[in-house]
Structure formats: structure tokens, C-alpha cells
Structure 1
């Protein structure tokens, strides 16, 4: 009794079942750059987060010392403005890139993938814009209509 011959395609021949392909859209090096961004931003984020946590919780009064005055005093120095801005931007872009990858991997229909991506991009842009506005327009020294300093303003304003 002879067995029928079965032909198995050699690996990496490029023959992929059409249901697993999404067309021949030329993405160029975007995916490679996105992969590289994840690695570089991840390393930078580790440093940014640990210094942020150390400076906020380990130095001074710890968590009980974090209040409006603490933030006002910290953001009075340009280094901390830049530090928190870099933390915000990198964390949001790093997270959005990761979610974009998950959407591309698991959303099978083009329409679903498009709308999930649009929601992700709009939410990311909104958080980055609003967070940046908060950092740059933060004014701890509150004044009344006459320009006099309010009595509940933090000590750094006096």
C-alpha cells in the first residue's frame, strides 16, 4: 500500500494564505522606527519615572507633603517643567504606540481597525495638548480682581 505524497511549502517562501494578508501597503520603515521608539522611550521612561517617584515621595515629607504648594514650588523651576513635560509626552506616545500595535494585531476588519485607531489618536492628542497646557499655564499665585494676592495662595508667592 502506497501513501499519497503531500507537498509542504518550504518555510519563508512568501506563500501566505490570503485571509491573513492586509494588502501590499508600503509602510516603509515606519514599523521598524516604531519598534525602535518603543525601546528607546522605554529606557528613558524608566529613568524619568524613577526620578519622579524619588523626588516626590522619598525626598521631603513623602506622600503627605504633596499638595498644591508642593507642585507650585516644583514647577517654579524650569527643569521640573521640562521633566514632567517629557514624562507626559513620552508616556503617552509610548502607550499609544503599544495600543496601536495591539489594534493592528487583533482588529481583523479594516473598518474596526480604522475607527479604533482614530479614537486612540484623538484621545492621545487631547491628553498631550491638555497636559501641556496645564504644565505651561499653571499659575500658583492667585490674585483677585484688584490684583491683590489671595490669602490662600501658597507660600512661594509671598
Structure 2
């Protein structure tokens, strides 16, 4: 008696494409890079200086006054968002059985990811701690 045939996974495209291979490679590369970015972020914020007691509005304002930290946090935001979105896309492809359900779930996923990326990027690059001219933050006095 022969074993039943195994069906192809639903997440696989009908035509030959490198899209799934590229997303698989992206997940591995972004995962490694995220480990470096996140642990670097945690080390700088928690281990250097006064640790967790120094983290407040002024601390973030001081960090984001430096373009290096803006790019660091932007890379963390974008990689984490795209990494998570790709993982959820794979889960939707694997578990949503109806084509219409898959379409709407992925539409909501892409829309929400786009909104988070846009708003997060805007916050990082338009953050101004000196909106109040009477602010006592050191960053505001330097300007």
C-alpha cells in the first residue's frame, strides 16, 4: 500500500518565482541584523551611563539629536516591521484557506505595516524637543 501524496503548500506561487526564496533569505539576514541592532540598543541605553534611571524624554531627545542614532533606530524600526510583516504574511498564506480571506488579511497587514513605517519614520526625523521655548532641556539650549 502506497503512502498518500503530499500536497504542495498554499504559500507557494503557481508559477516559478524567486519571491519566496528572496523573502526566506531576507528573514535570515534581517534576523541577524536585528540581533545586532537590538542588543546594541539595549547595551547603550541600559548598560552605559546611569542605566534605566537615565531614560526619559531628555535622554531620547539627546540621542535623536545625533543622526547616527536616528539611522540606527530607523533601521531597527524598518527591519523589525518588515521582518514581522513577512512572518505574518507566511502565516496567512499557510492558514487562511479561502482566497478572499487571504486577500483581505494581507491587505490589512500591508496597510497597517505601511502606516506604522510612515508614522515611525516621521517621529524619528521630525522629533523636536524644543517646541516649548522655555524648555530646560540641554539639547534646546545648544541650538
Deviations 1:78-119 (A, max 9, x none): 100000000000000000000101111111111111111111
Shift in Å, 1:153: 4.1
The alignment's C-alpha RMSD in Å is 2.2
Please name the residue that 2:59 is paired with. 70
Q: Cα distance 1:142–1:17, how it changes in 2: closer, same or farther (>3 A)?
A: closer
Q: Which of structures 1 and 2 has the larger relative contact order (alpha carbons within 8 angstroms, sep 6+)?
A: 2
* Residue 54, structure 1, aligned to residue 37, structure 2: no
| Unmatched runs of 5 consecutive residues or more in structure 2 | none
Contact 2:11/2:90 (<8 A) preserved: no
CA distance in 2, matches of 1:64, 1:72: 15
Shift in Å, 1:17: 5.6
Q: TM-score, normalised to structure 1's length?
A: 0.81
Which of 133, 137, 140 is the matching residue for 1:154?
A: 137
Runs of 4+ in structure 1 displaced over 3 angstroms? 15-18, 20-24
Which of 18, 25, 41 is the matching residue for 2:30?
A: 41
Which of 75, 82, 92 is the matching residue for 1:86?
A: 75
| Unmatched runs of 5 consecutive residues or more in structure 1 | 1-5, 144-148
Q: Cα distance 1:27–1:62, how it changes in 2: closer, same or farther (>3 A)?
A: farther
Aligned length: 141
Higher radius of gyration, 1 or 2: 1
User: Which structure dedicates a bigger proportion of its chain to helix?
Assistant: 2
